[in-house]
Amino acid sequence: MAKKRAAREVFRVPRGGVDLSAIDPAGRPVGPKAKAEAALADLAVRLDARQEALYAGAVGGSSPRAVLLVLQGMDTSGKGGVIRHVAGLVNPQGLHIASFKRPTPEELAHDFLWRIRRQVPGAGMIGVFDRSHYEDVLVVRVDGLVPEAEWRSRYERINAFEAELDEQGVAIVKCMLHISPQAQAERLADRLDDPQKHWKYNPGDLDARARWTDYQAAYADALSHCDTDAAPWYVVPSDRKWYRNWAVAALLAETLDAIDPRYPPADFDVEAEKARVRAAV
């Protein structure tokens, strides 16, 4: 029987350059072809147990580790859906979710990484970034908001920042939610057809869509320049929502498996405490 391929192996960006046009946004290269709900339910049990041990280890002082899940993708690629359906599988007490929108005047007065550092998850936490520091080599590049020399210099600064987090015990999982322009058009139309989704529609989304080729080039460069063993990039096919959710959950579960968080040992006499509890009944 062929060995089951790990999600972290299958979705990792190829070395030596990234060609997003060669990656099928509707593909299912590994994992369930059907019964996705059952597969996700199995991952939920695994994630919940690992996350609780991660949190307990930090509280008990035995393992000050953390995980950071970075979500990037074109509009409608499903960042919010992943937060709801994947991050929602674990105890919210151990979650830290940050969403990065247009920088405020205060944020613009600092280095581009300033606002990111303030949201890095603490020990025992799973942090989720809805967009991230990569906006500063994506939208900034496409819209020409800073000189080319500036955004190009940020690749090296991002790598140094992520290496610093890795040294501090933060395991980084970066997911580019890869959607096709056809699927995006359908989702934008769905938002317009449903009054309850009008709040999710932004006319500016079409401006970004008109620069699709430019954004794909910007993503390809960011993935190529900033894929490291300390902070790997994964391209997740996202035309199928159920598969996208399963894939990100699998990547997160495998990362937690690699950390192998353990519950801290009791710092008291267990048998003595059992006796005290029995006596109190």
Q: Give pLDDT, residue 17.
A: 84
Contact 252, 67 (CB under 8 A): yes
Q: Select the more confidently predicted residue: 196 or 109.
A: 109
State what percent of residues in the chain have pLDDT above 90: 84
Mean of the per-residue pLDDT values for the chain?
Answer: 94
- In whole angstroms, give the CA distance from residue 34 to residue 72: 26
Q: Mean per-residue pLDDT for 50-67?
A: 91
More confident residue, 197 or 185: 185
pLDDT of residue 63 exceeding 80: no
Poorest-confidence range of 134-148, 155-169, 195-209? 195-209
pLDDT higher than threshold 70 for residue 2: no
The average pLDDT across 88-95 equals: 94
Higher-scoring residue by pLDDT: 204, 158? 158
Q: How confident is the model at residue 34 (pLDDT cuts 50, 70, 90)?
A: confident
Report the pLDDT averaged over residues 74-97. 95
- Cα distances (Å, whole numbers) of residue 236 to 10, 11, 93, 175, 240: 10, 6, 27, 6, 10
199 has pLDDT over 70? yes
Give the percent of the chain with pLDDT over 70: 99
Q: Pick the closest to residue 22 from 209, 238, 178, 210 (CA basis).
A: 178
Confidence of residue 1 (pLDDT cuts 50, 70, 90): very low
203 falls in which pLDDT band (50, 70, 90)?
Answer: confident
- At position 190, the amino acid (one-letter code) is D
Evaluate if residue 3 carries a pLDDT over 50.
yes
Mean pLDDT of 192-213: 86
pLDDT band at 104 (very low <50, low <70, confident <90, very high): very high
Q: Are 137 and 218 in contact (CB under 8 A)?
A: yes
Residues facing 170 on adjacent strands: 66
Q: Which helix (H) or strand (E) holds 256?
A: helix 241-259
Q: Can you tell me the mean pLDDT for 118-141?
A: 97
Burial per residue of 152-181, b for 16 or more beta-carbon CB atoms within 10 angstroms, e otherwise: eebeeebbebbeebbeeebbbbbbbbbbbe
What is the phi/psi pair of residue 38, to 5°? Answer: -65, -40
